[in-house]
Structure 1
Amino acid sequence: MKLNKIAKAAICISLLTAVGCTGDFEDINTNPNGFTPKELEQDFNNIKGGFAPMFNNIQVLTPEWVYQLQQGLSCDIWSGYMATPTGFAGGINNTTYSLVDGWNVFNWDYAYKYVMFNAYDIANKSKGKYDQFYALSLILKVEGMHRVTDTWGPIIYSKFGSPETTIPYDSQEEVYNQMFAELDTAVAELTKRVDAGEPSTFVSTDLSAYGGDYKAWVKFANTLRLRLAMRIVKVNPTLAKTQAEKAVAHKFGVFTTNADLFKIVSPVYTNPIATISGSWLDIRMSADMESILKGYNDPRTATYFDTSTQFPGQYKGVRTGIAINGKGDHQDFSGIGSVVRSKEIVLMTTAEAYFLRAEGALRGWNMNGTAQALYEEGIKASFDQRGASGAAAYIADNVKTAVAYVDPNFPENNSPALNNVTVAWDAAATNEVKLQKIITQKWIAGFPEGQEAWSDYRRTGYPKLFPVLKNYSGGTITTQFGVRRINYVTSEKAANAGGVASGIAKLNGPDTGGTRLWWDTTGPNF
């Protein structure tokens, strides 16, 4: 990965670029008819231009087919959230564990071109001079790039921007340590400005729902720290506890109301899943979602999914990793519902913050609440976010569990239920059962953000997901444990072969989809 290639691509999409993208970058940069450096610095315009690409490409908003390849046909499916009725590439693809490099490259490329490059550029222009913007770029960088390291493991991070031909990778542990330090910097900087009563300079830059509010951004950074802390709990429990307690103990704390949640609010683009599901019919409810939501008679179902057009009044899911004879076999099952038919893309919910704290409390950490109380607050927050009623009865239900999956068109896809936990908290249950309850409800509440759900599934094994029936990985990915990561893409191997080699050396396993990441250990949850 060479910086000049990334820079050229990023410049082409900059909102400040008023001319077509050519090879004459030096001429363009000194064009007497364009903006002068002095003019660009007015109202921080030289810095602000890099933020929109960062906001819009943590999850790609447009074009929809890029989102489909960046996330829709990978972690949205591997998380158990969604399934495809379309037999792409003859059914031999990501869904059946034959990882498609031409799809997965978009996850890598868009993160580096639009998130990492702009974070680097903003840092060069603002660090030590306009540190409020540097702080904001760090938070967005961590939010965008933790998704990348959680997909590949070792990545280019601390050495990004190096002029060398070979750019070495950091281990995932090194990336996480740097991310915690970057959050330290951002939180300290913005907290200082809140305490001083300083007016925000983010207002016109902020594409979230925060409207430039420094305090809201600190709460997001704290909650992001809490998420990352829990991710490493099995590999470094001491650091996990320290970071989690630091997040909760901060004077502004973590998310506690749904006004706190982090979402991108686009003035133009609807969530791409709406098109992929509603117009293209390429994504449907998963069999896992049907089994769990139907079993719990979950009131959020009607927001998450539409009823089937083939089976009116019913919610029907598709099992992942099956033989697909034709798209018509399952395309009229349940599509994704009103949850995606808006210009708001939620990347972190308040419910998640409560469930993270519930798990922390279960582990004996100081989370300012008991595991049960925080677990139940998480369910309530999710119901409130989705406008669903009946939270109290749902929380108290100690009878309902997931139900068997039935494919009315192809019974060979049927399966007994895998998840046997009820919703109601059981103080007498083992920590493992309590964790399964927490993660299952966290999984439901986080829909449709599949990246985080896939990471939780890999870390904890919950909720239990139906195994694929077709596995074309050639033995590199087990049917039992599923996809653990994505192998390094061929374009990166061609441009930075030495760097990729350094990453593989730090991976502690072969460069396949079955190799576990640093935090994805085989050890028990407790």
Structure 2
Amino acid sequence: MLKKLSYTILFALALSSCSDTLDDINKNPNATETPLAPYLLTGTLKQGADLYWGDANNFNSTLLFVQHWAKIQYTEPDRYDVSNASFTSLWDKGYATLITDLNTIIKFPDAQANSNYKGIALSLRSWTFLLLTDAYGSIPYKEAGQNVTPAYNTQKEVYTGLLEDLKQAQSLLNAANGSITGDLVYKGDIVKWKKFVNSLRLRIALRISDREPALAKQAAIEATSDAAGVISSESETFKFTYTSSPQQNPASAWFETRDDFRISKTMVDQLDALSDPRLPVFAQLPSDASVGKYVGGANGLSNSDANSQGFAKTSKPGTYFLTSASPAVIASYSETLFNLAEAAARGYISGDAEQYYKNAITASFIQFGVTNPTTISTYLNQASVKYDASNYAKSIGTQKWIAFFGQGLDAFTEWRRLDYPVLTAGPATVLDGKIPSRLFYPGTEQSLNGASYKAAVAEQGKDVLTTKLWFDVK
């Protein structure tokens, strides 16, 4: 009996020792036990820029839809021959990485994160939700991160909810509430963060303008009359600046090993017609020196037809976008001025819509390094560029489409909303002559959140690329 008791005690001790050892083995000695707000902020800024500027959501999808870029080989995305596995990264990383980490900051006790960290986190979370609803439509919003099978909210509910979230973010941001570190965009400048928040509020006001004009007007007035103001100079543009490999611009990394994109013929033709000095910034001359001019690739071609255009005879996107340190622009001064122009044109705010429009084009020129006043004045005075008050959507939509070059997700949204310029699907596209109006939901939503997914589709419309979203009324 004593021997049996001894064996039992020894066995229990061995199990205890083994468990302790395994626990120690499974600990990462380089990982912090408690997440820190500065590190989470740095991580979400970098990962958010990668998500916005990278291949899956930008140059291999939305930049093709709006005909900024085109494919010269592997043309399936340019022909819209894609599946619901093609658009998972925006959803998966948006929810599982960005929103999760930002929620962590928001929920920190004050001792771990002052109100400025929380205001920044709330503004970045709002931006992430905005990208998601702009792309997919109805999305999990109110229950996101709180339920393993969250219900979807309609696009109207998301937009109106984000306007309230951004009001809260604005109230949390105050330079007197403590400094922040880990901010790779504004370097802890709370005044600039407050301007970014107001600029997002103005952006959302215009998203809902064709559906909820009264609320849109109220939101535009609140955003522009807030004491902090909106983005008001190039130095306040919200952008993530990359460095060198491995922290390099995603497009730069792509072009180091692949050669399957060209600037779109649609864009080159438009810039040529306007004698636009941004063309040498947006495009490279073909490597075949005998061509001697910028040549865009046509969108929506079969692989063989795309190849036959000639790799050496067509123009790659400009090196401005393809260096390791090329910035990921997320909210530009130019965009804010275009938004002010539209808000004034709609009668939401006071101000001269035409002057805002001219200032927006000028800001875009400066953003891309075109600074000669005579060059800018000559461009603005062309009949085809002058502001048309009778069709502000055409004037603003066309120039905004150009200024958004490289920012696929927002260019795609604004093109659907303003309906300019008029784009035509390529000859080998598979949507009966239509251009996509949204992204597919990831297939995992059907298998892991099926009831909520089905309810969202029943309300919004079929989960296909051509279903128009709530904000897209035409």
TM-score, with length taken from structure 1: 0.79
Deviation track 1:104-144 (CA, whole Å, cap 9, x = no partner) reads 11222121222111122222224796322111111111222
- What does 1:472-483 correspond to in 2, within 5 Å? 472-473=430-431, 478-480=432-434, 482-483=435-436
Partner of residue 49 from structure 1, selected from 39, 57, 68: 39
Partners of 2:110 and 2:467 lie apart in 1 by 37
Letter in 2 for 1:149: T
Letter in 1 for 2:217: K
| Cα drift, residue 303 of structure 1 | 1.2
Deviation track 1:345-403 (CA, whole Å, cap 9, x = no partner) reads 11111011111111111111214x201110111111111121213111110111xxxxx
- Tell me the equivalent position of 1:337: 318
Deviation track 1:390-432 (CA, whole Å, cap 9, x = no partner) reads 111110111xxxxxxxxxxxxxxxxxxxxxxx10234xx52x2
Structure 1's unaligned 5+ residue stretches are 1-23, 399-421
Larger radius of gyration: 2
| Cα drift, residue 466 of structure 1 | 2.8
Partners of 2:150 and 2:308 lie apart in 1 by 47
- Tell me the equivalent position of 1:68: 55
- What does 1:270-349 correspond to in 2, within 5 Å? 270-277=248-255, 279-310=257-288, 312-325=291-304, 328-330=307-309, 331-332=311-312, 333-340=314-321, 341=323, 342-349=325-332
Letter in 2 for 1:96: R
CA gap of 1:153–1:36, structure 2 versus 1, over 3 A, is closer
Instruction: Please state which structure has a larger fraction of its residues in helix.
Output: 2
SS in 2 for 1:50: helix
Partners of 1:28 and 1:146 lie apart in 2 by 42
CA gap of 1:27–1:49, structure 2 versus 1, over 3 A, is farther
- Tell me the equivalent position of 1:58: 48
Letter in 2 for 1:148: L
Question: Could you list the runs of 4 or more consecutive aligned residues of structure 1 that deviate by over 4 angstroms after TM superposition?
Answer: 26-37, 126-129
Partners of 2:47 and 2:426 lie apart in 1 by 30
Deviates more, 1:279-288 or 1:354-363: 279-288
- What does 1:74-473 correspond to in 2, within 5 Å? 74-88=61-75, 93-126=76-109, 130-164=114-148, 166-190=149-173, 193-194=174-175, 196=176, 198-201=177-180, 204-208=181-185, 210-268=186-244, 269-277=247-255, 279-310=257-288, 312-325=291-304, 328-330=307-309, 331-332=311-312, 333-340=314-321, 341=323, 342-367=325-350, 369-388=351-370, 389=372, 390-398=375-383, 422-426=384-388, 430=390, 432=391, 434-473=392-431
Deviation track 1:204-257 (CA, whole Å, cap 9, x = no partner) reads 31121x111000000011111111111111111111111111111111211121
Partners of 2:110 and 2:209 lie apart in 1 by 32
Q: Is residue 224–residue 230 contact of structure 2 (8 Å, CA) maintained in 1?
A: yes
Letter in 2 for 1:496: N
Q: Is residue 239–residue 330 contact of structure 2 (8 Å, CA) maintained in 1?
A: yes
Partners of 1:385 and 1:70 lie apart in 2 by 23
Q: Is residue 57–residue 409 contact of structure 2 (8 Å, CA) maintained in 1?
A: no
Deviation track 1:430-451 (CA, whole Å, cap 9, x = no partner) reads 2x2x321112111111211011
SS in 2 for 1:87: coil
Partners of 2:377 and 2:231 lie apart in 1 by 21
Q: Is residue 51–residue 89 contact of structure 2 (8 Å, CA) maintained in 1?
A: no
Deviation track 1:249-292 (CA, whole Å, cap 9, x = no partner) reads 11121112101100012344332223434641121111210111
Letter in 1 for 2:273: G
- Tell me the equivalent position of 2:16: none
Q: Is residue 236–residue 333 contact of structure 2 (8 Å, CA) maintained in 1?
A: yes
Partners of 1:344 and 1:126 lie apart in 2 by 33
Partners of 1:444 and 1:343 lie apart in 2 by 18
CA gap of 1:439–1:126, structure 2 versus 1, over 3 A, is farther
Partners of 1:263 and 1:500 lie apart in 2 by 34
| Cα drift, residue 145 of structure 1 | 2.2
Structure 2's unaligned 5+ residue stretches are 1-19
Q: Is residue 87–residue 326 contact of structure 1 (8 Å, CA) maintained in 2?
A: no
Partners of 1:444 and 1:493 lie apart in 2 by 37
Partners of 2:418 and 2:343 lie apart in 1 by 14
Letter in 2 for 1:74: S
- Tell me the equivalent position of 2:466: 514
Q: Is residue 205–residue 219 contact of structure 2 (8 Å, CA) maintained in 1?
A: yes
Partners of 1:394 and 1:74 lie apart in 2 by 31
Partners of 1:61 and 1:485 lie apart in 2 by 17
Letter in 2 for 1:252: A
Computed over aligned residues only, the root mean square deviation of the Cα atoms, in angstroms, reads: 2.5
